[in-house]
Amino acid sequence: MKKKGKVIIFSAPSGSGKSTLINHLLTLDLHLEFSISATSRAPRGGERHGKEYYFLPTEEFRRRIDAGEFLEWEEVYAGCYYGTPRAEVERIWSGGATVLFDVDVVGGMNIKRVFNEQALAIFVQPPSVEALRQRLVARGTETPERIEQRLARAGYEMVFASQFDAVIVNDNLTRALAEAEQVVRDFLHG
Ligand code: ADP
Ligand code: 5GP
C-alpha cells in the first residue's frame, strides 16, 4: 500500500473510553476521518451498517480475508472477527484527511508496523479493571456474558501499553480529552 498520509491509532481494553475520545476529536477542526472497520458481530443499540462498522456475515468476512481485502484483522473475541478494510485508508487519504483507527491492541501494533513514523499509536488506559466493569455496566450495551468476556481480555491488553507512542490514562474525562487533543495536534503539526 502506498503511504500517502498520516494515521492515528486508538487501542485499549473495551470500556476504556476510546470511542468517547475519538468522537470528541472528530468534532475538532483537525481534518480527521474515522476508519470504519468490518465485523462479524451483530449491531448493538443504534449502530448502523456503514457508520460504526460494516456488519458482515462470518462467511463473507472470511471470503474477504482470503481475497486480501484487509490491512489487518483479528478474532478479538471467540467467534467475533474485526478487520480494517484497505479501501478505508485509500478512501480517507484520497480526501486528504488523516485516518483515525479504533482497533484492538494487536491490530494497533500491526498498523503501527505498517505505517511507522506516519502513525501515532495511542493507548487509552482505564484507571482499573473495576472501573472498566462499572463503565461497561453503565454503558448498558453488553450482556453480562459479553462484559465478562471483555474484562477477561483486559489484563492481557494492558500489557501492551508500553509499546505505544503515547498512553492516556482516562480517569478524569476532561483531562483525558485535553491530553488526547494535545498529542494529536503535536503529531499533526510536529
Ligand atoms: P470504548 O470505546 O473504549 O469501549 P467508550 O468510549 O464506549 O469505551 O466508554 C465506555 C463507557 O464509559 C461509556 O459509557 C462512556 O460514556 C464512559 N466513560 C468514558 N470515559 C469515562 C470517564 N473518564 N469516567 C467515567 N465514565 C467514562
Ligand atoms: P466492539 O465490539 O466493542 O465495538 O469492539 C471490540 C474490540 O474490537 C475493540 O477493542 C475494538 O477496538 C476492536 N476492533 C474494532 N475494529 C477493529 C479492527 O478493524 N481490527 C481490530 N484488530 N480490532 C478492531
76 lies in some domain: yes
2 lies in some domain: no
137 lies in some domain: yes
pLDDT tens digits, 157-174:
999 999 999 999 999 999
3-state secondary structure (DSSP) of residue 98: strand
pLDDT of residue 38: 98
Q: Closest Cα to residue 152, out of 14, 41, 17, 10?
A: 14
pLDDT tens digits, 77-104:
999 999 999 999 999 999 999 999 999 9
Nearest-angstrom CA–CA distance, 135 and 159 = 20
Cell numbers placing 7: 494515521
DSSP state of 126: P
147 lies in some domain: yes
29 lies in some domain: yes
| CATH assignment at residue 28 | 3.40.50.300
Contact criterion met (CB below 8 Å) for 38 and 103:
no
Task: Select from 14, 76, 135, 153 the residue to mutate for testing ligand 1; criterion: most ligand atoms less than 8 Å from CB.
Answer: 135
Give me the phi and psi of 166, to 5 degrees please: -145, 145
Average pLDDT over residues 22-40: 97
16 lies in some domain: yes
CA of residue 163 to ligand 2 center, whole Å? 18
pLDDT tens digits, 52-82:
999 999 999 999 999 999 999 999 999 999 9
Residue nearest to atom 20 of ligand 1 (CA): 17
Say what the pTM is: 0.96
pLDDT of residue 190: 78
Number of domains observed in the structure of the chain: 1
pLDDT of residue 98: 98
155 lies in some domain: yes
CA of residue 64 to ligand 2 center, whole Å? 17
pLDDT at 184 over 80: yes
The DSSP bridge pattern shows strands 98-102 and 166-169 to be: unpaired
Containing structural domain, residue 172? 7-189
CA of residue 107 to ligand 1 center, whole Å? 21
1 lies in some domain: no
